Amino acid sequence: MSTGKINVQTENIFPIIKKFLYSDHEIFLRELVSNAVDASQKLKTLSIAGEFKGELSHLQVDVKIDKEAKTLTISDKGVGMTADEIDRYINQIAFSGAEEFVNKYKDKMDSGAIIGHFGLGFYSAFMVAQKVEIITRSFRESDENKAVRWECDGSPEFTLTDTLRSERGTDIILHLNEDSMEFMETERVETLLNKYCKFLPVEIQFEGKIINNTKPAWVKKPADLKEEDYLAFYKELYPYSEDPLFHIHLNVDYPFNLTGILYFPRLKKNIEAQKNKIQLYSSQVFVTDSVEGIVPDFLMLLHGVIDSPDIPLNVSRSYLQSDSNVKKISSHITKKVADRLEEIFKDNRPDFESKWDDIGVFIKYGMLSDDKFYDRARKFCLLKNTENTFYTLDEYKEKAAPLQTDKNNKTVYLYASNTDDQHAYIEAAKGRGYDVLLMEGPLDSHFLNALEMKIENISFVRVDADTIEKLIVKEESSVSILSKEQEEMLKSIAEKNVPIEQYAVVLENLQPSDQPVVITRPEFMRRMKEMSATGGGYSFMGEMKENFNVIINTNHPLMSKILAEPASELQAIKMKQVIDLARLSQNLLKGEELTNFINKSVELL
């Protein structure tokens, strides 16, 4: 038997491990099971290399709870360790055995085969155990090869003794501390194994059941998978979700290693709730499902799995974001996603159009947040009009230009955000032969703002932003039949009869056949307000009340009649009635004002 001091810089590393190493104590299980998997994979590699000539037999990792002894044991049939190796790999903490192994066998194995480099993996056991035993026997067939038992109670002292064990492999026995009795519960351990070990490449047995799928879809070749395999894998990841729209299989080995499958979900209007569905793995070990900083924000709307041994796992998020591998990975994924979308668009445009309502949000989000993605997506980004016809950005410019270009040579894209509320305005625009786009998505006010900046000489105007004459100004408007004095009078009567803090009165010379009063929502203020509500723009805008214009049609016969009334009281009553009628048509008359309006109408009739 030998005793010794674990070789670390700090006098006692365990308090540090317990407190700071991982905020989540539960990850000890991930670390120990992945070490067991590593040990099994190493033996396979040695067997392929001809250095291990014995029977591989069935490599399997076992996780067992012993409630009486209060122990949790992780056993494998992998390479095991000699006393020397324990000394090197366990006692000298700073030295990672996985790294040495990979360096030695790098041409005989795929680099992802050894999980390793999670950091102080094995020692994370002391976050939950007051004492840890290792009972291990190396695969080496020699007389000196004896089974050894290592034991440590969380102080820097350990004991190492010979022991009896006939089988190759390792048992890690954790004597749990009082605070960690939760890991005696079958359900708790099963949940953890499902979270971290569900796709590990070696079978993991717990309570008599194999808990993992050793060959998940993303590690297979795309050529070996059918559409239903992708769907089945999606259901394995998200059992209760609706079917996805389509998938992208990622497979890169240069200049970094990356595999994975990303799915396009059916996006609902609430995009925040859809985030954090991508799971990040490192060589099939679950790392996190919070991939912020690793994939671009807009890609977080996708679902699925990304697996890369090249993503540094034990570092802070701010470090991750500046890591050059992470940056490359993120731009690679963006490119792949754009390629796939373009492919679907080109191969089957009707299918692409039918999915637009779901993928449109995603594409617009990407175009807004990533210039490179914008450049790629402008080829397949679609605009939909109120007739449900789709156009690419180029196609639409061509369509709108002839009729909708104003006197300043700007092509005005008219849009509606709600076909019911804005029905009258849409009809008026169509009556003039104009086309009206449908912009009802959660990001649309930001999106059209961005398009105005990117595409030359266009501007977006909502159909209710102005009177039909002024939506697209082609020449100076017609003249008024009223005199200056009459106009001033009309304006002052009107101003006395609207809540002036929200409504600005504007006189216009519309056609006598147009409505006498029209309510409009000026584009700029309204859009700023919408943008601030969904993040961006000026936040103070969000707090401001809505603004409207009350357009008085000076050429409407009713206005001349109001002016001709002998009593100013009657002028006011009539003006108020006709303005309130216009407000009512826009659902802007509520409460007491509405009651008064109805009573007055009855009285007048």
Q: 3-class DSSP state for residue 458?
A: strand
Instruction: Write the binding mask 29 to 58 for ligand ADP: x where contact by CB under 6 A, - elsewhere.
Output: --x---xx--x-------------------
Residue 379 tokens read as 């080829």
For ligand ADP, which is the closer residue by CB, 120 or 550? 120
Q: How far apart are CA 416 and CA 439, in angstroms?
A: 6
Residue 453 tokens read as 């900046």
Q: How far apart are CA 539 and CA 542, in angstroms?
A: 6
Ranges within 157-216 binding ligand ADP (CB under 6 A): 170
Instruction: Write the binding mask 467 to 506 for ligand ADP: x where contact by CB under 6 A, - elsewhere.
Output: ----------------------------------------
Instruction: Write the binding mask 107 to 136 for ligand ADP: x where contact by CB under 6 A, - elsewhere.
Output: ---------xxx-xxx--------------
What is the DSSP code (8-state) at residue 89? I
Instruction: Count Cβ atoms within 10 A of the Cβ of residue 230 and give its class: 0-12 exposed, 13-18 middle, 19 or more buried.
Output: buried
For ligand ADP, which is the closer residue by CB, 134 or 507? 134
Question: Nearest 5°: phi and psi at 291?
Answer: -100, 15
For ligand ADP, which is the closer residue by CB, 136 or 449? 136
For ligand ADP, which is the closer residue by CB, 252 or 313? 313
- Which residue's Cβ has the minimum distance to Mg ion? 121
Shortest distance (Å) from residue 197 CB to ligand ADP:
14
Q: Does residue 78 bind ligand ADP (CB under 6 A)?
A: yes
Q: How far apart are CA 73 and CA 63, in angstroms?
A: 6
Q: Provide the binding-site residues for Mg ion, judged by CB under 5 A.
A: 35, 121
Shortest distance (Å) from residue 78 CB to Mg ion:
12
For ligand ADP, which is the closer residue by CB, 192 or 412? 192
Residue 97 touches which of Mg ion, ligand ADP, none (Cβ within 5-8 Å per kind) = ligand ADP
Q: How far apart are CA 98 and CA 403, in angstroms?
A: 69
Shortest distance (Å) from residue 446 CB to ligand ADP:
45
Taking the CA atoms of residue 570, residue 574, residue 576 and residue 578 in that order, the dihedral angle to the nearest 10 degrees is: 180
Residue 580: CB atoms within 10 A of its CB come to 22
Among 81, 129, 147, 294, binds ligand ADP (CB under 6 A): 81
Shortest distance (Å) from residue 126 CB to Mg ion:
14
Shortest distance (Å) from residue 47 CB to ligand ADP:
15
Question: Token match 């409505």: residue?
Answer: 515
Shortest distance (Å) from residue 252 CB to ligand ADP:
24
Q: Are strands 503-508 and 71-76 parallel, antiparallel or unpaired?
A: unpaired
Question: Nearest 5°: phi and psi at 178?
Answer: -55, -35
DSSP letter string over 421-451? Answer: TTHHHHHHHHHTT--EEE--STTHHHHHHHH
Q: Does residue 98 bind ligand ADP (CB under 6 A)?
A: yes
Shortest distance (Å) from residue 256 CB to Mg ion:
21
The residue count for binding ligand ADP (CB under 6 A) is 21
Shortest distance (Å) from residue 170 CB to ligand ADP:
4
Ranges within 533-562 binding ligand ADP (CB under 6 A): none
Instruction: Count Cβ atoms within 10 A of the Cβ of residue 264 and give its class: 0-12 exposed, 13-18 middle, 19 or more buried.
Output: buried
Q: How far apart are CA 475 and CA 405, in angstroms?
A: 11
List interacting residues with ligand ADP (CB under 6 A): 31, 35-36, 39, 76, 78-81, 89-90, 96-98, 116-118, 120-122, 170
